[in-house]
Amino acid sequence: MDAGEALRAYGLENVADLPVNSDAYSIGLEKECLLLVACDAADKPIGFAFVKSIDGQAHLKEISVLRRYMRQGIGKQLLGLSEKWARDQGYQKITLTTYEFIPFNAPFYESMGYTVFTPSAAWPALLEIRQQEKAQGLDRQPRVCMFKTL
């Protein structure tokens, strides 16, 4: 999706230039996961959310909306449906990692009831995700872990 292009304004050209890796999603599709796709009136994909189970809780791996459809509530709808799915699956929390100061990242999630936290050893998969993000060079801007109690 072209949503990564919006990160260029924040000095994250390296993230915007990352290739789309569909294998990461198809290989990662597990029994307990959710892939939501938002479509336009012509049934063309305009956004998605991918949630999976890690550390015994739901984890929002990614949410993305095409730039021309941003700020129309599509991301909020995808997030709300992701949270509903997680609740319906019996999860108590949903986690994510995101950029701390980019307005459509952590500030957006905070407005939706998420809280920044530092994962402990009780969150080994989340700690591994953060290590992978650092190895990929995603930390040019500060990143945080967040959670919401469902």
Sign of CA dihedral 124, 113, 74, 16: negative
The confidence score (pLDDT) of residue 96 equals 97
Model confidence at 11, in pLDDT bands (50, 70, 90)?
low
| 57 pLDDT more than 80 | yes
The confidence score (pLDDT) of residue 29 equals 54
Measured CA to CA, the distance from residue 25 to residue 85 in angstroms comes to 18
| 18 pLDDT more than 70 | no
The confidence score (pLDDT) of residue 23 equals 46
Paired tokens of 4: 């990564």
Q: Which residue has the higher pLDDT, 8 or 129?
A: 129
Q: Kindly report the backbone phi and psi dihedral angles of residue 65, in degrees, each rounded to the nearest multiple of 5, phi listed first.
A: -135, 135
Give me the mean pLDDT over the 72-97 stretch: 96
What's the predicted TM-score (pTM) here?
0.84
